[in-house]
Each structure stands twice: as structure tokens, then as C-alpha cells.
Amino acid sequence: MNAARQAKRSLVSGDYVMTADDFAQIAATLKEMSGIVLSDGKVALAYSRLAKRLRILGLSSFAEYCAMIDSADGADELQAMLAALTTNVTRFYREPHHFDTLHDLFLSDLAQKARSGERVRLWSAACSNGQEPYSMAMTVLTAMPDAASFDVRILATDIDPNMVAEGRDGTYRSELLDPVPPQSRQRFFEASYDGHLAARASLRELTRFNVLNLLGAWPMKHKFDAIFCRNVAIYFDEPTQERIWARFAQCLHEGGHLFIGHSERVSGPAERYFEATGLTTYRRRRA
């Protein structure tokens, strides 16, 4: 097959033609927007997730879709593409050892820091629909029930505005709360519509949700005592990961903690700023 015909051939059989050029444009756009690398192994996944968008938009090929996201009016569709291609899988108390460590940090250090009038700041840096930051909030309130009376806050951010809105809403199907011990479920959630459970005011008071792209500017003025950035760097290439670790080193207090996903590791120049203190847990070195 000659090169021109090869370029027009669909990579996936289905209702729409997706050529190698279409896929390359989608992958390049996604990487530029979010840092996420769409490897060649993800062609079928990209096709099936975006075919739904083509159907909704009434388009007949990925060439048309690519022209749309490339056009001056493409901003809304770019957001929809990002939402379709990102993986938002999360769970309450996912990787529970991190929450045990956070609990211990409050007992040993952070509760006292807050009670002495200092600011204590935690960050869930790719919070998906809020299960991670609310798990952090439950952990804080279990270790320090009066945390909200002091200057203790959890910042929860994600690139996807839909996820941020769900987190802010704080309402979940009851089965998603299965990993939450019954006592905590009762203490921190209340019945909502149709078998759903909603985060109580005590969790909401501690937690602030905002859209933030880890690749863009970080407008936060103060340093953090702990950062959870879990299961997102895995989607970035090595140079992007290294830049993110270095930025975390700059915005963590000395002695502050960084928690990362189970298949991630701090790499590159930032390694000298971090010492591993447990499973995928790092402490910012003191100068």
C-alpha cells in the first residue's frame, strides 16, 4: 500500500474513519493541553471514547472532528475531548497507607502546628471527583476533630471542570462509600436523593475545590504541609514528571510530605529534595 493510501486508512474499524494523522493530531493536542501521553497502544480507547462525541456532534469522520478542535470555535469541544480522554478512576481511601501516614502526621506534628496558630495546608493535586480530598478531610477530622476551628484547609484541584463540580457537589452513590468505615460514613455523610450520600458540612468546611492544570500556573501563595498527587503523573512523559516533582519541592514546606501513586516515583533533579519515608511517600528535605 502506498503512503498516501496508508495515511487515509482507518486505524480502527468502526463507523468512523480515524487515520494515523487524525490520531497524531488528537494525541498532540491532548499532550499540549494536559501533559497526558496517548501512546499508539491507546488508539482503540481514543476511538471508542471520541466516537461518542462524533455521534453527538453529528460528524462523519475524525478528519471533521480534528478540523473542529483546531478551529477558532473549538474551545468547548477541546474541554469535552479532554474529559473523554482522561481517566478519572478514584476511590475513597485509595492506597490506605497514605491516609494512615497523614493521620500520624496530625497526631505527631500538624495538629499542634495548627493549634499554635499556624496555617496548615494540604493539597489534593489531581482530585478527580473528590473522593481523595474528602478521604483526607475525614483523616484530618479523625485525628483532630476541631481542625475547622483552626487554619487548616485542603485544596482540591483537577484539570477537568466536571470532576471539580462533582467534588464540590460532594454527593456519591452509596456503594462508592464502601471503603469508608461505617462509623465515619455516619459521622461525615448524610442521606441524599435516591440512595446517594452527601458530604456533611464538616467535610466541606475544610475543603476548597478549584480547576487547576498541573502544567499551567499555580496561583497558590502559601506552601503546603502535604501534597497528594497520585495516579496522574503516570500519564505524563518523563520530562513532564520531572518538572512537576521539582515544582512540588518548591511549594512544600521543609519536612512536608509528598504522596504519589503506587506505580510512580520521584525522578530527575528533584530527587535531591526528597527522601523516601515509606511506600510512595516522600519528605521534603530540610535545607
CB of 10 to ligand SAM, least distance (A): 28
Q: Which of 160, 225, 242, 264 binds ligand SAM (CB under 6 A)?
A: 160
- What H or E segment, with its residue span, contains residue 133? helix 131-143
User: Catalytic annotation on 49?
Assistant: yes
Q: Which of 59, 85, 159, 197 binds ligand SAM (CB under 6 A)?
A: 159
Per-state percent for the chain, helix, strand, coil, to nearest 5: 50, 20, 30
Q: Tell me: does residue 98 bind ligand SAM (CB under 6 A).
A: no
Cα 7 to Cα 41, 44, 65, 75: the distances in Å are 18, 17, 17, 27
User: Catalytic annotation on 204?
Assistant: no
Q: Tell me: does residue 166 bind ligand SAM (CB under 6 A).
A: no
CB atoms within 10 A of CB 28: 11
Task: For residues 161 and 167, give the distance between their C-alpha atoms in angstroms, rounded to a whole number.
Answer: 10
Q: Tell me: does residue 27 bind ligand SAM (CB under 6 A).
A: no
Give the interface segment with ligand SAM, choosing from 29-37, 65-73, 164-172, 277-285 (CB under 6 A).
29-37
Q: Which residues is 225 bridged to in the sheet?
A: none
Give the interface segment with ligand SAM, choosing from 157-165, 177-185, 247-255, 274-282 (CB under 6 A).
157-165
Q: At what angle do helices 75-85 and 62-70 cross, to 10 degrees?
A: 120
CB of 135 to ligand SAM, least distance (A): 9
Q: Which of 35, 133, 170, 256 binds ligand SAM (CB under 6 A)?
A: 35
Amino acid identity of residue 27, one-letter, is A
CB of 157 to ligand SAM, least distance (A): 7
- CA 18 from chain centre, in angstroms, equals 29
- CA 193 from chain centre, in angstroms, equals 26
Q: Tell me: does residue 87 bind ligand SAM (CB under 6 A).
A: yes
Catalytic residue (one of 94, 121, 158, 230): 158
Give 256 or 261: the residue with its C-beta nearer to ligand SAM: 261
CB of 189 to ligand SAM, least distance (A): 18
CB of 163 to ligand SAM, least distance (A): 5
- Asked if residues 46 and 85 have their Cβ atoms less than 8 Å apart, the reply is yes
Task: For residues 89 and 131, give the distance between their C-alpha atoms in angstroms, rounded to a whole number.
Answer: 10
x-or-dash string of contact with ligand SAM, 239-268, rule CB under 6 A: ----------------------x-------
> Grid coordinates representing 95?
492506597
CB of 160 to ligand SAM, least distance (A): 4
Amino acid identity of residue 284, one-letter, is R
Q: 204-243: buried (b, 16+ CB within 10 Å) or exposed (e) per residue? A: bebbebeebebbeeeeeeeebbbbbbbbbbebbeeebbbb
Active site residues: 49, 158
Residues in touch with ligand SAM (CB under 6 A): 34-36, 86-90, 94, 126, 128, 132, 158-160, 163, 213-215, 230-232, 261
